[in-house]
C-alpha cells in the first residue's frame, strides 16, 4: 500500500473512533456464545482492546476514564467472521465501501478469498490500528487452471506464496488432479492451509483425502451425489451442480458427510450466493432490497443481468432449482448434525450479496436449513476461533479475549433476524457507535448513487 493510498483509506474511516481507550458496557445482557445462555445486567469493561472484566452491574466499579455505553435492554455478543469474503486491493476505490459495510454490520474478521500483495500491507495496518476495519486473513493469488501450468509450477507457486507471508492458498477450478496433488503435498509440508473450490478433475473425495482446509460453496458435493451413468448432462452441472438436482441420489449424503467429518474438513456453504443466483425470485425485485442502495448502480445491474441470463438458460427449470436448494439445505443440516464443521460465509461482494448485510442473510438461511439461531451464530463466532486455532483469544465474550463485539437491540437467540439490529460495533476496542454507523451508511449511499 502506497503512503498516499494509506492516508486516503485512513481518512475514509475517520467516522470511526480509532483511539485506544477504556470502554464500559453498562447493564447489558451478555451472550457469551460459550454456551446457549444470556447473562443479564452485566457491566463489561474493555481496556486497550481486551475484555478486562465482566460482572454484575451493581457490583462493578467503573473506571473514571471509561467511555460509557448504555447496554440497557441490549445484547452484547462476539463479532462475526465473514469466512468467504472478497477484499478489494489497496488502490481500489471500493476498498472503503467494502470494509466499512463489513464493519458496521458487525463483521470483525474477514477471510479474504482472492488475495494480492497489497493485502499483506493492509493486514498489518489493520492489526496496528492504522486502519480501522475487520481483521484480514488473506489468501494469495488464485491457484487455478490458468495460473498453474503443471505440477512443478504448482509447487513453485505454493512456496512463493508461503515465503511472501500469505495466510493460506486459494484453490480455484481448472486444476488437474496432478497439479492439485502437488499443491496439497507442498502446502502440507509447509503447514500452509489450502482452501476454496474443488476442481472437477479432483472431486470432493480426493480433496478430503488431500487435506483441504475448507470446501467453499459446497463445491463438488452435488456431483458427488450423482451416480455417473445416471448423469445425462455428460458431467456439466451448471452453477455448483444446479442442473444435476434431479439426478442426485440423496441416500449418498450420509456417506459423503461421514467422509467429510472423518477428514476434519470444514465447509463454508455460502448458501446466500447459491440461492440468490438460482432461486426463482425475480431479480427486478431483488434490486430493490434495502442494502442495494449502498452498492453502485452499475454493480447491481450486472447482478440483475447475471441472474436473468441464468433464468433464460435452456437448462434452467425453477422446479429443479428449488430441489437443488433443498438438497443443499439438507447437506448443511447433515454436516452440522454429524459434527462436520460449518463456517459462516457469504461470498460478498458477489451477486446480490452486499458486504456485511449478506452475512445476516446467510445466518437466516442456516436457520432455514435446520440449525437453531445459537448454532447458526456459532458458525461465525466460536467455530472460526476453533478453525484458526485462536479459541483462547477470540470467539466468545470472556475476560482476556479480544474486544471484537456487537451490541444488538434485540436477542438473536430468540429470532435470528435480530442479528441485523446492530446498535454498535467494537473492533479490537475501537467503538463504532450507532451515530457512526448511520453517518457511514449515509455517506456510502450518497457515494453509490454518484
pLDDT digits (tens, 9 = 90+) for 201-222: 999 999 999 999 999 999 999 9
Grid cell 469474503 in the structure block, residue: 85
Predicted confidence band of residue 236 (pLDDT cuts 50, 70, 90): low
Please provide residue 217's backbone torsions phi and psi, each rounded to the nearest 5 degrees.
Answer: 75, 10
Diameter over CA atoms, the chain:
73
Grid cell 502506497 in the structure block, residue: 2
* Domains with residue ranges and CATH for the chain: 18-78+396-432 (2.30.40.10), 80-387 (3.20.20.140)
47, containing H or E segment: strand 39-47
The set of cell numbers assigned to 63 is: 473506571
pLDDT digits (tens, 9 = 90+) for 151-186: 999 999 999 999 999 999 999 999 999 999 999 999
- Determine which of 31-35, 235-239, 355-359 has the lowest per-residue pLDDT on average: 235-239
d(CA 447, CA 441): 10
User: Residue 140 in contact with residue 167, Cβ under 8 Å?
Assistant: no
pLDDT reported for residue 6: 44
pLDDT digits (tens, 9 = 90+) for 63-103: 999 999 999 999 999 999 999 999 999 889 999 999 999 99
330 burial level (CB within 10 Å; 0-12, 13-18, 19+): middle
pLDDT digits (tens, 9 = 90+) for 420-444: 999 999 999 999 999 999 999 999 9
Please provide residue 202's backbone torsions phi and psi, each rounded to the nearest 5 degrees.
Answer: -95, -55
Q: In the chain, what percentage of residues exceed pLDDT 70?
A: 94
pLDDT reported for residue 8: 46
- Determine which of 25-29, 145-149, 167-171, 233-237 has the lowest per-residue pLDDT on average: 233-237
DSSP state of 388: T
pLDDT digits (tens, 9 = 90+) for 18-57: 445 899 999 999 999 999 999 999 999 999 999 999 999 9
For helices 253-263 and 318-338, angle between their N-to-C axes, nearest 10 degrees: 40
Q: Does the pLDDT value for residue 7 go beyond 80?
A: no
Q: Does the pLDDT value for residue 392 go beyond 70?
A: yes
pLDDT reported for residue 241: 85
d(CA 66, CA 49): 13
pLDDT digits (tens, 9 = 90+) for 105-142: 999 999 999 999 999 999 999 998 888 899 999 999 99
pLDDT digits (tens, 9 = 90+) for 183-202: 999 999 999 999 999 999 99
pLDDT digits (tens, 9 = 90+) for 276-328: 999 999 999 999 999 999 999 999 999 999 999 999 998 899 999 999 999 99
Query: Roughly how many angstroms between the first and final C-alpha of the chain, as a whole number?
Result: 26
d(CA 166, CA 87): 14
Amino acid at each position: 500500500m502506497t503512503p498516499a493510498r494509506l492516508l486516503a483509506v485512513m481518512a475514509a474511516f475517520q467516522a470511526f473512533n480509532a483511539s485506544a481507550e477504556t470502554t464500559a458496557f453498562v447493564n447489558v445482557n451478555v451472550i457469551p456464545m460459550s454456551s446457549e445462555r444470556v447473562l443479564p445486567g452485566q457491566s463489561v469493561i474493555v481496556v486497550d482492546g481486551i475484555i478486562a472484566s465482566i460482572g454484575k452491574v451493581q457490583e462493578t466499579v467503573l473506571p473514571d476514564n471509561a467511555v460509557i455505553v448504555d447496554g440497557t435492554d441490549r445484547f452484547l455478543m462476539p463479532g462475526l467472521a465473514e469466512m468467504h469474503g472478497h477484499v478489494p486491493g489497496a488502490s481500489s476505490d471500493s476498498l472503503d465501501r467494502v470494509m466499512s459495510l463489513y464493519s458496521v454490520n458487525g463483521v470483525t474478521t474477514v477471510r479474504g478469498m482472492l488475495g494480492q500483495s497489497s493485502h499483506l500491507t493492509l493486514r498489518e495496518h489493520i492489526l496496528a490500528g492504522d486502519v480501522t476495519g475487520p481483521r484480514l486473513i488473506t489468501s494469495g493469488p488464485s491457484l487455478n487452471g490458468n495460473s498453474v501450468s503443471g505440477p512443478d509450477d504448482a509447487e513453485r507457486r505454493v512456496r512463493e506464496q508461503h515465503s511472501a507471508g500469505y495466510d493460506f492458498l486459494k484453490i480455484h477450478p481448472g486444476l488437474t488432479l496432478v497439479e492439485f496433488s502437488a499443491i496439497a503435498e507442498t502446502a502440507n509440508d509447509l503447514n500452509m492451509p489450502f482452501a476454496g473450490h474443488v476442481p472437477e478433475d479432483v472431486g470432493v473425495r480426493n480433496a478430503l483425502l488431500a487435506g483441504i482446509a475448507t470446501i467453499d460453496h459446497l463445491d463438488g458435493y452435488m456431483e458427488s451425489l450423482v451416480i455417473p451413468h445416471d448423469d445425462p448432462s455428460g458431467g456439466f452441472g451448471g452453477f455448483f451442480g444446479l442442473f444435476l438436482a434431479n439426478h442426485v441420489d440423496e441416500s449418498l449424503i450420509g456417506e459423503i458427510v461421514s467422509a467429510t467429518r472423518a477428514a476434519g474438513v470444514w465447509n463454508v456453504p455460502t448458501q446466500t450466493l447459491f440461492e440468490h443466483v438460482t432461486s426463482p425470485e425475480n431479480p427486478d425485485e431483488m434490486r430493490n432490497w434495502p442494502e442495494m442502495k449502498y452498492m453502485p448502480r452499475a454493480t447491481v445491474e450486472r447482478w440483475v443481468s447475471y441472474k436473468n441470463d441464468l433464468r433464460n438458460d435452456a437448462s434452467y427449470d425453477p422446479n429443479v432449482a428449488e430441489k437443488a436448494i433443498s438438497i443443499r439445505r439438507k447437506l448443511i443440516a447433515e454436516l452440522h448434525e454429524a459434527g462436520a464443521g460449518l463456517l459462516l460465509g457469504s461470498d460478498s461482494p458477489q451477486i446480490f450479496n452486499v458486504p456485511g448485510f449478506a452475512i445476516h442473510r446467510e445466518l437466516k438461511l442456516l436457520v432455514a436449513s435446520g440449525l437453531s439461531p445459537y448454532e447458526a451464530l456459532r458458525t461465525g463466532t466460536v467455530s472460526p476461533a476453533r478453525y484458526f486455532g485462536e479459541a483462547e483469544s477470540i470467539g466468545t465474550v470472556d475476560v482476556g479475549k479480544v474486544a471484537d463485539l456487537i451490541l444488538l437491540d434485540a436477542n438473536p437467540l430468540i429470532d435470528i433476524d435480530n442479528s441485523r439490529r446492530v446498535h454498535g460495533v467494537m473492533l479490537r476496542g475501537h467503538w463504532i457507535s450507532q451515530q457512526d454507523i448511520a453517518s457511514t451508511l449515509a455517506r456510502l449511499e450518497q457515494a453509490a448513487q454518484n
